[in-house]
Amino acid sequence: FVDFEMADPNGKTHKLSEFVGNGKNIVLIDFWASWCVPCRKETPFLKMAKERYKDKLAVYAVTIDADTLKWEKAIEEDSTRYFIHVRGVSDRNVPDKQVRALKIKSIPRNFLLDKERRIIAKDLRGEELLNALEQLIK
């Protein structure tokens, strides 16, 4: 079972288990950064998925941005305030131990978790993500 506890742009921590498990939600953990062009190209699909499945899906967006201002600017530009935004690196650009445990070497990277917080798919992109969610949420 996967669980994380990381801080949002305001420093408030969010535990993954608050949003999934106990039959509540499925979650997409998305690793990204403001400077990652392929990551940002996936954003419209993430937004489409969240709009389509509203309360059944949580998007737990883990940035590896060391620069908080660039991170916050990207959130505003992409209109993704309603995602659960957390930070997976320190100000010194050192990856969080939770990020290291998943062996995140490059981005974009994502993991789809079921309601029991088990990884059921990874690295879903575009239509592939939407199709997987449709099968899972039916």
Question: For the chain, where are the E strands, in sequence order?
Answer: 5-7, 13-15, 26-32, 57-63, 84-87, 109-113, 119-122
pLDDT digits (tens, 9 = 90+) for 27-78: 899 999 999 999 999 999 999 999 999 888 999 999 999 889 999 999 999 9
Give CA–CA dist 123/22, Å, rounded: 24
Task: Quote the pTM value.
Answer: 0.90
pLDDT band at 22 (very low <50, low <70, confident <90, very high): low
Tell me which residue of 82, 65, 62 sits closest to 7, measured CA to CA. 62
How far is 43 from 36, CA to CA, in rounded Å?
A: 11
Please give the pLDDT value at position 97. Answer: 80
The confidence score (pLDDT) of residue 49 equals 95
